[in-house]
Amino acid sequence: MAKFITIEGGEGAGKSTVIKTIQAHLQKKGIAHIITREPGGTVLAEKIRSLLLDQGDEILLPESELLLFFAGRYQHIQHVIKPALKEGLWVISDRFVDASFAYQGAGRGIEEARIEYLKEWLIGDLCPDHTLLLDAPPYIGLDRIKARGALDRIEMEKIDFFNRVREYYLQLADKEPARFHIIDTRLCLEDVEENVQLWLRHLE
């Protein structure tokens, strides 16, 4: 049976590493799946990703940022997510709509009702079956991404921004315990991978 699984968390929380662990597990089990991401996932949405993450001369206003995220997300849903689920594939997405509530809502200060309106209009009743929240204090994640090299536009935000993002994610996970599962990515890589695999076996 098709499952829609999203991976959420702050910058440097380890999403790329965890997604590789998930992919390896699904391949081993012979479970047909796709790996995708937001912003991105389609040709047009990847162009929107560049607009969102590249540093430009013009300031990208919070409202414009929110609308661009949803524009890319709608393309992603219609051209990738829904068709894959219809075919019976598991869909593993690096971020989904929870990220807009965390980043543009809690982080940027946009009213939650405005984001909720876009969600109801463009996403409807499509909701992840399960969401894996990768959690670590923002200073740890920021140290990790700085070690990787140049930062994108969002990664350059101040730590207070990421503290608000993390707090929202944790509050959301507390409100929706049936959907969310939290992985502490402060642990060593082996322990993180083991915890992810245990969670995946629970889903099968």
Lookup: tokens for 177: 């315990």
The band of 202, judged by pLDDT with boundaries at 50, 70 and 90, is confident
**Cis status, amide bond into 39, omega within 30 of 0:** yes
Task: Reply yes or no on whether the pLDDT at 204 is more than 80.
Answer: no
> Does residue 62 carry a pLDDT above 90?
yes
Structure tokens at 103: 């980043």
The whole-angstrom separation of Cα 35 and Cα 53 is 20
Give me the count of residues in the chain: 204
The mean pLDDT of 173-194, rounded to a whole number, is: 96
Would you state the structure tokens that stand for residue 54, as one six-digit string?
């590249």
Residue 181's nearest CA partner among 189, 192, 102 is: 192
Q: Where residue 95 falls among pLDDT bands split at 50, 70, 90?
A: very high
> Is residue 149 pLDDT above 90, yes or no?
no
pLDDT at res. 40: 98
Q: Domains of the chain, with CATH numbers?
A: 4-203 (3.40.50.300)
